[in-house]
Amino acid sequence: MDPALKEVWLALLRTMLMIRRCEEQLVKFYAAGAIRGGCHTYIGQEAVAAGVCAHLRPDDVVFSTHRGHGHALAKGVTPHELMAELLGKATGCSGGRGGSMHLFKPEVGFMGSSGIVGPCITLAAGGGYTARLLKTDRVSVAFFGDGAVNNGAFHEGLNMAAAWQLPVIFVCENNLYATEVPFVKATRNPSVASRGQAYGLPGLEVDGNDVVAVYQAAGEAVRRARAGDGPTLLECRTYRIRAHSEGMREVGYRTPDEVNAWKARCPITLFEQRLLQDGVADQLEIERIEAEVGAIIADAARFAEESPKPDPATVADHLYSQTGFHHA
Amino acid sequence: MRELTFVEAAREGLAEEMARDGRVFVVGEGIGARGGNFNTTLGLYELYGEERLRDTPISERGFTTLCTGAAATGSRPIVDFMFIDFLTDAFGDLFNQTAKLQWMSNGRLKMPIVLRGCIGVAPQFGAHHSGNYYPFFVHIPGFRVVVPTTPADAKGLLKTAIRCDDPVLFLEHKALLNLKGPVPDGEYLIPFGQATVARQGQHVTVVGIAYMVKEALRAAEQLAAEGISVEVIDPRTLAPLDMDTILASVHKTGRLLIVDEDYAPCGMAAEIAMQVMERGFDDLDAPVQRLNGAFIPAPYSDAFAPGLVPDAASIAAAIRQLLAE
C-alpha cells in the first residue's frame, strides 16, 4: 500500500479512537457527577466526523450540533480542552461558558456546536458565503442529525447554498432517531439524500459506519466545493449507541436487539478488521495507536480535573466586543 | 450645510462603508438591481455586483442565520429586512445564535452584523407592516439598538453600526425616511450611547423614541406659546441607553414624560422610568408619566387611526397634565 495512504488510514483510526476513548471518559465523569446537564455522546458515529474532517484544513470551518464532541475533536479541539469544558473549567475550549453543547475553537475552524437543532445548517451556509466573498477556497461544513432535516433551516439553508453555489458540505448523520422520535414517524420520505435533488444539489447516501466510505464521499464533496462547483448533501446512515443524553431513560423507543445489531457494526472494530485483513496494519501497530490515544485521554482527564474554575468576576466579559456598553 | 433626506444620508453612509471595506455586503429582497423597496441600496448594485448586494429568497430566518455564520467567519453582513416585521421569523436564531455567539465563544468569535429595517405605525399599513419590536432586543444581552431620527444621525450611526463588531439593530421609522435635514460634508461617525438634547427647556423633560422625537418637538413648539419650556431628548440608541443625559435633564426640570409609539408593557418607558427611580428619585417633583401607542395590532381602516399612536396634540396634553401635578 502507498505509505501516504496508509498514513491517512491510520490517522482515521486514531481520530475515531480519540473520540471513543474521550467519550468513555466523559461518561465516567458524568456518572461521578462531575458533568451536569446535557451530555450527548457520539459513540457509534465516530466514522462520520473522522471521515469528513480528514479532508479539512484549519481554515475550513465546521458548524456542529448538540452531539458535537466528535466533530470538535476531529476538527482539532484537544481532548484536554473538551474535557475541561465539560467539567466547567477555565481551560475549557469555551472557558467554561459553554459546556457540552457550546464548544468553540475558531482558531482551528471549529465555529461552535449548538443546543438548538437546525441553525448549524444556515450558519454553515454563511461560512460558505464568507469563503466566496473573500475569494478563498475554504469550505464550510454543517454536521447535523436526522432531527434537523425536518426543520425549516434545512430547507432554507440548502436552497440558498445551492442557489448561490456556496462551498458547503451538509453532513446529515441519520442515526434514525430525533431524540427518541423515529425518523420514519417524522417524515414520509425516509431518504435524506434524495432531498438534495429538490434543491438542485447532489445528495449521496453512504454507510456512516464505514469510515472509508465516508472518507471517499466527503473527499469528492470537499473537492467540488473548493473548485467552486457548489454544495453537496451527504447522508451518513449510522446509529448512536448510548442514550440521547447521559442519564436519560433508554426504554420505549428502541429494542435491545436493534442496539446490539448496531453495536456489532462498530465503526472502529469494522475498520480495524479491514486494516488487518487488507494487510495495511498489523495488530502491533493498532495496539500502539490504542496505547498512544489511551495515554492522551488519561492525561486530558487529569488536566481537566486539575484545571482551575473560571473567575466568576469575568462572567459578563465578551458579551460585547467592547466593554462599557452594558445598559442593564 | 447641504440637505439630504434620511434615506439619502443613510445610503451615503452605506456607500462609504462599502467602498472602505470589501467584507461588507448586503442581503435582502429587492436590494440588488432594484435598489431596495425604500431605496436603501439605490445605485450600489452597479458598483459592487450581486456578491455584495445579494437578492434573497423570502427566507428571513435562513438568510439572517446565514449572515450570522458569515459574520462569525470574517465578513460584515447587513441584513435589509425592508419592513422590520419580517425579522420576526428569525427571532429564535437571533436570540440563540446571533446574540450569544460572541459570549459563548469566550470572545473569540465576533458578530459584526447589522439588521436594518423600517419600523413604525404608518397610515393603513396594517398589522404586519407596522411593528416596532425594539424592546425585545433591548431585553436580550448582546444586541445594540439604534433609532436615529435625523438624516445626519442616520448616516453617522449607520457607519458606526457597520464598523461595530456586535449585532446592531438599525431601525428606521417610516415617517422619517423622506424628511430632509442638514448633513455634514465628509466622513463622520456618531458613537453609540450618546443621546442628544433635541430642544432645550426648563419645565419638563420629554424623552421621545424614534419618530416620537419629531412629535415631541412639535408639541414643545406649541407649548412655548403658552410659556411652557419643554426639553426634548432623543436617546438615538436604546442599547446602550444614555441615562446620564436623561438624568441630568430630570435633575434640571424635575418632571419626565416618555413618549413611545410602541406598546407600554415592559417597554422603553418602563425601563427608563425605573432607572430614573433608581438613580434620580430625589430629583422628581411629580411621578414619571408615559405615553404609548394603543396595545393592539395596527389596524387598517383610517377610522381606527385617531389615538392609535401619540401625536403633538396628545403629547402637549400629557405635558400640561404633568405640569399640573
Distance, in Å, from the CA atom of A17 to the CA atom of B184, rounded to the nearest integer, reads 64
Q: Tell me the catalytic residues of B.
A: 60, 129
Q: What is the CATH number of the domain that holds B52?
A: 3.40.50.970
Which domain range does residue A98 map to?
A: 3-242+251-300
Q: Are residues B211 and B174 in the same domain?
A: no
Of A133, A163, A318, the CB nearest to B25: A133
Q: For residue range B44-101, list pLDDT tens digits in order.
A: 999 999 999 999 999 999 999 999 999 999 999 999 999 999 999 999 999 999 999 9
Q: Are residues B30 and B152 in the same domain?
A: yes
Of B75, B77, B241, the CB nearest to A327: B241
Distance, in Å, from the CA atom of A47 to the CA atom of A213, rounded to the nearest integer, reads 9
Which domain range does residue B118 map to?
A: 3-182
Q: State the total domains in chain B.
A: 2
Q: Are residues B77 and B169 in the same domain?
A: yes
- The answer to pTM > 0.90 is yes
Using an 8 Å CB-CB cutoff, list chain B residues near A131. Answer: 73
Using an 8 Å CB-CB cutoff, list chain B residues near A321. Answer: 102, 107, 110-111, 164-166
Q: Are residues B129 and B225 in the same domain?
A: no
Which residue on chain B is closest to A99 by alpha carbon?
B104
Q: State the total domains in chain A.
A: 1
Q: Are residues B150 and B287 in the same domain?
A: no
Contact A319 B103 (CB under 8 A): yes
Residue A201 is assigned to a structural domain of this protein: yes
Residue for grid cell 429568497: B57
More confident position, B141 or A327? B141
B163 contacts: CB under 8 Å, gap ≥ 6:
B17, B112, B189
Residue A125 is assigned to a structural domain of this protein: yes
Contact B62 A111 (CB under 8 A): no
Beta bridge partners of B115: B79, B169
Q: Are residues B318 and B243 in the same domain?
A: yes
Residue B125 is assigned to a structural domain of this protein: yes
Residue A314 is assigned to a structural domain of this protein: no
Residue B190 is assigned to a structural domain of this protein: no
Contact B102 A164 (CB under 8 A): no
Q: Are residues B38 and B74 in the same domain?
A: yes
Contact B69 A102 (CB under 8 A): no
Of A104, A125, A126, the CB nearest to B108: A104
Q: Contacts from A147-151 at CB under 8 Å and sequence distance 24+?
A: A147/A117, A147/A177, A147/A178, A147/A179, A147/A181, A147/A186, A148/A65, A148/A117, A148/A118, A148/A120, A148/A121, A148/A172, A149/A187, A149/A192, A149/A195, A150/A178, A150/A186, A150/A187, A151/A117, A151/A118, A151/A121
Average pLDDT, chain B: 97
Q: In Å, how far is B99's CA from the nearest CA of chain A?
A: 8
Residue A307 is assigned to a structural domain of this protein: no
Q: What is the CATH number of the domain that holds B237?
A: 3.40.50.920
**ipTM above threshold 0.85:** yes
Last residue of a domain, one of B138, B153, B182: B182
Residue A324 is assigned to a structural domain of this protein: no
Which residue on chain A is closest to B62 by alpha carbon?
A156
Q: Are residues B98 and B148 in the same domain?
A: yes
Q: Are residues B216 and B68 in the same domain?
A: no
- At B122, the pLDDT band (50, 70, 90 cuts) reads confident
Q: Are residues B96 and B239 in the same domain?
A: no
Q: Are A173 and A117 contacting, i.e. CB atoms less than 8 angstroms apart?
A: no
Q: Are residues B32 and B166 in the same domain?
A: yes
Using an 8 Å CB-CB cutoff, list chain B residues near A97. Answer: 103-106
**Mean pLDDT per 10-residue section of chain A, whose length is 328 residues:** 92 98 98 95 98 98 98 98 98 97 98 96 98 98 98 98 98 95 94 98 98 98 98 98 92 92 98 97 97 98 98 94 57
DSSP states along A30-42: HHTTSS-S-----
N residues, chain B: 325
Q: How many CB pairs under 8 A join A and B?
A: 164
Contact B69 A327 (CB under 8 A): no
- β-strands A61-63, A140-145 pairing: parallel
Using an 8 Å CB-CB cutoff, list chain A residues near B105. Answer: 94, 97-98, 104, 106, 112, 318
Q: Are residues B168 and B20 in the same domain?
A: yes
Q: What average pLDDT does this structure show over B198-219?
A: 98
Q: In Å, how far is B244's CA from the nearest CA of chain A?
A: 11
Beta bridge partners of B27: B54, B79
Question: What per-residue confidence (pLDDT) applies to A323?
Answer: 56
